[in-house]
Structure 1
Amino acid sequence: MFLEQILNGLAQGSIYALIGIGFALIFGVLGLVHFAHGEVYMIGAFIGFLMITAFHLPVWAALLLAIAGAAFVGFLVELLNFRPLRKAPEYASMICTLGLSVVLQNAAMLIWGSDTKSLPLSSENVAFSFFGAKLSMEQILIFTVSLGLMVGLQYILYCSKLGKAIRAIAQNREAAALMGVNINQVIAATFAIGSGLGGAAGVLVGLYYNAFYPTMGFMAGLKAFTATVLGGLTSVPGAVLGGIILGVVENITAAYISSGFRDLVAFVILILVLFIRPSGIFGRGIQEKV
């Protein structure tokens, strides 16, 4: 039914939103697109999978460790990929992240294999009725965790010293440096935060579909990037709204037109946005990022 597809779309859109926030944060402080961000999401998913299957940790503990692990990967990406090329032409860093995405995919294949991994979950599916529609425990988990992380991020951005530094660098990096902001530390922290959110999304989507595989970050990353462009590439709230819109439209299209068009929708939306409003819904220009 229609409400059920809306709930499915909201769950999927929440995943896109968490990944998209990382794109928006990183673009906000550097003005660059991190093309390996989808692979960081995949690494986070596999860390969560490893914690649950090998160490038999509860989901909440696996989720926290996946966030920490993905944040550390993001920190390393900034330290080893973006920082050495800070003064190089912008395309140099972006091309490096394309190569990095291939490296991370193949590393995951070497470690976990190329086949799809699943969790030994109970065959009993717990679901609740929500105005006649089915609401699964996995969807409730996605809504709860996503909302909590987004609220936490807003607190960091607007109520903490780090958040003020991030927004200062996004508006004017040179002026922020003159005011005593440690540019390298703040950019590294931004990468860690965005990557941690991506890692959380990886675990959530892995639990939702009970599927973990090395290439899972490619399409998710492209769709999350589309959602970020839709909302405004420099806007965190825009990334959230863009993810929700994309998730809902995608699920309604799959349910009422054809599941074969599921992936096509994202790129049609991307093309339309670039033609009609290149700055996105909340886009305000590079001078007013984040």
Structure 2
Amino acid sequence: MELFQAITNMTAVSFAQHMVNGISLGSLYALIAIGYTMVYGILLMINFAHADIVMMACYFALFGITTFHIPWYLTFILTIAATALLGVIIERSAYRPLRDAPKNSVLISAIGASFLLENLANYLFSGRPLHFPDIPFLSSMIDLNGIQVQAICLFIPVVTLACLFLLLHIVNHTKTGMAMRAVSKDYEIARVMGVNIDNIISITFAIGSALAAIGAIMWGIRYPGITPYLGVMPGLKCFIAAVVGGIGNIKGAVIGGFILGLGEILIVAFFPQFSGYRDAFAFIMLLLILFYKPTGLLGEKMTEKV
């Protein structure tokens, strides 16, 4: 009854405003969640440093514009390249030496890499919140028949879907993508067939980190407060989005991101008294998915590699 009353009291413009915000937030979750799901699809491990790669990308873009005075469009390109390189460095230093180690060792290494990035950022950039520079083209407000929308909110879903289609093309229609799919099925058979396992895993980390950088740039414009612990809560939610959609499934990660983003915004819209508990929605969703469909909405039953 309370939900029905909330719906009837909400105007069409207000509902549209919430939907735009929800789709925008869900797109950000989806873009970052792809990185989690790609690494898990090949290595069957969670890259817990992925959220902190997002944080480092925000700092790369921030200092590129404010300290080195590089034009914003060139800074964004350099940020994506630098973040992809950072992902490869983390893979080679923290994960590759433990390729044949027990899963627990890899998990501990992943958590250690996350803590290292957070504390390194805290040491280098201080814990004081920094303001992500305004990009007039993307930070300006647009009026759409009474709906006040920040320009970046319109770009985020478009960029996310473009990245999704490009990634699906790479995975399904290129030799590199074919090698990725082969490695995800069986290491040894892929190696026998001539696939360079190390290179393919490095490419996977590079692509996932590049997508994280794109998400980080748009996150910084949309939510401009940057701290060394910026990636903690968004990282958890993006991981949950990947689990909800079916971790290891790229399309599932995107669907999970949209569900999470829309759910968060609409719960606050319909039940403003619960606005302080919006983060809890993600964890409730995780519990429900694990209880009723542990493999996620689009996930398949997977066997552990030996």
TM-score category (smaller protein): over 0.9
- Could you say which residue in structure 1 is the equivalent of 2:162? 148
Paired-residue identity, %:
36
Deviation at 1:166, TM superposition (A): 0.5
Amino acid at match of 1:25: M
The two structures, once aligned, show a CA RMSD in angstroms of 1.9
| Contact 1:78–1:188 (CA under 8 A) maintained in structure 2 | yes
Secondary structure of the corresponding residue to residue 84 of structure 1: helix
Separation of aligned partners in 2, 1:52 and 1:135: 24
Are 1:37 and 2:50 an aligned pair?
A: yes
| Contact 2:62–2:133 (CA under 8 A) maintained in structure 1 | no
| Contact 1:230–1:239 (CA under 8 A) maintained in structure 2 | yes
Mapping 1:59-98, distance limit 5 Å: 59-98=72-111
Deviation at 1:25, TM superposition (A): 0.5
Separation of aligned partners in 1, 2:290 and 2:133: 43
Q: Which runs of 5+ in 2 are unaligned?
A: 1-13
Deviation at 1:45, TM superposition (A): 1.1
| Contact 1:45–1:200 (CA under 8 A) maintained in structure 2 | no
Q: Which moved more, 1:53-62 or 1:146-155?
A: 53-62
Q: Which moved more, 1:111-120 or 1:22-31?
A: 111-120
- Could you say which residue in structure 2 is the equivalent of 1:285? 301
Are 1:263 and 2:279 an aligned pair?
A: yes
- Alignment deviations for residues 59-86 of structure 1 (CA, whole Å, 9 cap, x no partner): 3322222211111111011101111001
Q: Which runs of 5+ in 1 are unaligned?
A: none
**Structure 1 residues 122 and 166, CA, compared in 2 at 3 Å: closer, same or farther?**
closer
| Contact 1:234–1:283 (CA under 8 A) maintained in structure 2 | yes
Separation of aligned partners in 1, 2:143 and 2:183: 46
| Contact 1:46–1:203 (CA under 8 A) maintained in structure 2 | no
Separation of aligned partners in 2, 1:242 and 1:116: 30
Deviation at 1:133, TM superposition (A): 2.3
TM-score, normalising length: structure 1 = 0.94
Mapping 1:1-290, distance limit 5 Å: 1-121=14-134, 126-130=140-144, 132-257=146-271, 258-286=274-302
TM-score, normalising length: structure 2 = 0.89
Q: Which moved more, 1:236-245 or 1:154-163?
A: 154-163
| Contact 1:127–1:137 (CA under 8 A) maintained in structure 2 | yes
Secondary structure of the corresponding residue to residue 148 of structure 2: strand
Q: Which moved more, 1:207-216 or 1:49-58?
A: 49-58
Equivalenced residue count is 289
Secondary structure of the corresponding residue to residue 87 of structure 1: coil
Secondary structure of the corresponding residue to residue 216 of structure 1: coil
Separation of aligned partners in 1, 2:194 and 2:277: 50
